[in-house]
Amino acid sequence: MRRLMSSTKWPQTRTGTGILSPQPEENPHWWNANMVFIPYCSSDVWSGVTPKTDHSDYAFMGSLIIKEVVNELLSKGLDKAKVVLLAGSSAGGTGVLLNVDQVAEQLASQGHRGVQVRGLADSGWFLDNKQYKFTDCLDTISCAPTEAIKRGIRYWGGLVPESCRQAHVGEEWNCFFGYKVFPTLKSPVFVVQWLFDEAQLTVDNIHLTGQPVHEGQWRYIQNLGQELRNTLRDVPAMFVPACLSHELITRTYWMDIQVKGTSLPRALHCWDRSLQDSLHSSCPLQLIDSCPWPHCNPSCPTIRDQLTGQEMSVIQFLKHMGFDVQKMAQQQGMDAKKLLGMLNNGN
């Protein structure tokens, strides 16, 4: 995608939103932190170390960009920081998993061992699962996750964390999938992930446009949520709402979403304190919805019809998804009216 390949079209200024906002009402804990935003222009999931050559007109330098930015920031006072939080969304979320230990190592090797390095990975925890419908790998959208990364890593000359590389010698593509790279990391990482991620559904060939969803697709979507839940079992700090969406930390509404009565900024603040002081370890850190279908969490962001842009209520959305209230009520062992009432109240 051209817009993800160069910095030439970047605006001169940007407004920080969500976790990048300087307003205390939008960003209660980190509004006055030093923030550096690095836009994505390397198209390599922040993994490349490949300059332009005689054979290729493209340079993929995502990993080197992060390294250079850290070096430059060290000359501007980063060495005096107590905590460095490397955060990213989507490809940037996967980029956090791929680079957080490298940044920690970079600071330590230059003598800055007092700086604690942590990661915040938003919407970058993808699954190398089976697609709903198999398609040949003709472009990035129809290409199955595993095949896309296998091709990409060859093309970008992608770099993965050393401990993960050793665990998957010759099959380094595994390290682009959160549940495989996470156990090999030394730095603490907080995982933010929608249970039903739109980017994941797209690569799995579930396209939620206009057409009602068939029962097979509905089952597939619910299974996807279950599979994702299973891969997060051993993650100590996470925020995983049962919504159909993509990216959260830089959204203006990021304070409104709740899991088990806790918002994401509060969960992150709690995690921050628990890493500095074990006395605060009683606060909730493994926040994951247990309800089984998209938007069963009442605080999910507004759903819009992808064709008309109209807002949809949860009931309209579930009907659009081919959700059979009678049948679902039977499965749950309850009266259909009662289930509809629960859905309307968002319980």
Token pair, residue 213, equals 């969803």
Distance CA 266, CA 262 (A): 7
When pLDDT is averaged across residues 56-60 and rounded to a whole number, the result is 89
Is 90 assigned a catalytic role?
A: yes
- The residue written with tokens 């959700």 in the block is 323
Is 214 assigned a catalytic role?
A: no
Distance CA 343, CA 336 (A): 11
Among 236, 234, 225, 336, which Cα is nearest to 290's?
Answer: 225
Active-site residue identified among 42, 90, 245, 263: 90
Q: Give the start-to-end residue ranges of the domains of the chain.
A: 2-298, 313-346
Residue 251: C-alpha distances to residues 18, 86, 257 (Å): 5, 17, 11
Q: What is the pLDDT of residue 57?
A: 86
Q: Are 280 and 274 in contact (CB under 8 A)?
A: yes
When pLDDT is averaged across residues 317-343 and rounded to a whole number, the result is 71
3-state secondary structure (DSSP) of residue 240: strand
3-state SS of the chain: helix, strand, coil percent to 5? 40, 10, 50
Count the neighbouring beta carbons within 10 Å of the beta carbon of residue 257.
Answer: 21
Among 314, 343, 339, which Cα is nearest to 327's?
Answer: 339
Distance CA 226, CA 101 (A): 29
Is 7 assigned a catalytic role?
A: no
Name beta bridge partners: 83. Answer: 116
Q: What is the pLDDT of residue 286?
A: 95
What is the torsional sign of CA 27, 189, 145, 129? negative
Within 168-289, residue ranges assigned H as helices are 178-181, 198-203, 215-231, 264-276
User: For residue 37, how many C-alpha atoms fall within 13 Å in the half-sphere facing its CB?
Assistant: 17
Is the entire prediction scored with pTM above 0.85?
yes
Q: In this structure, are strands 311-312 and 303-304 parallel, antiparallel, or unpaired?
A: antiparallel
Residue 50 has pLDDT above 70, yes or no: yes
Q: What is the pLDDT of residues 230-282, one digit of tens each?
A: 999 999 999 999 999 999 999 999 999 999 999 999 999 999 999 987 665 67
Active-site residue identified among 168, 246, 269, 280: 246
* 210: confidence class by pLDDT, cuts 50, 70, 90: low
Q: In this structure, are strands 196-197 and 244-245 parallel, antiparallel, or unpaired?
A: parallel
Structural Rg of the chain based on CA atoms: 21
Q: Are 135 and 142 in contact (CB under 8 A)?
A: yes
Single-letter code of the amino acid located at 282: S
Give the chain's mean pLDDT: 90
Q: What is the pLDDT of residues 172-201, one digit of tens each?
A: 999 999 999 999 999 999 999 999 999 999
Q: What is the pLDDT of residue 217?
A: 87
Active-site residue identified among 101, 122, 197, 272: 197
When pLDDT is averaged across residues 57-86 and rounded to a whole number, the result is 96
Token pair, residue 315, equals 């009931």
* 347: confidence class by pLDDT, cuts 50, 70, 90: very low
Q: Are 46 and 4 in contact (CB under 8 A)?
A: no
Residue 227 has pLDDT above 80, yes or no: yes
Token pair, residue 249, equals 């930390």
Task: In the chain, count H helices and then E strands.
Answer: 11, 11
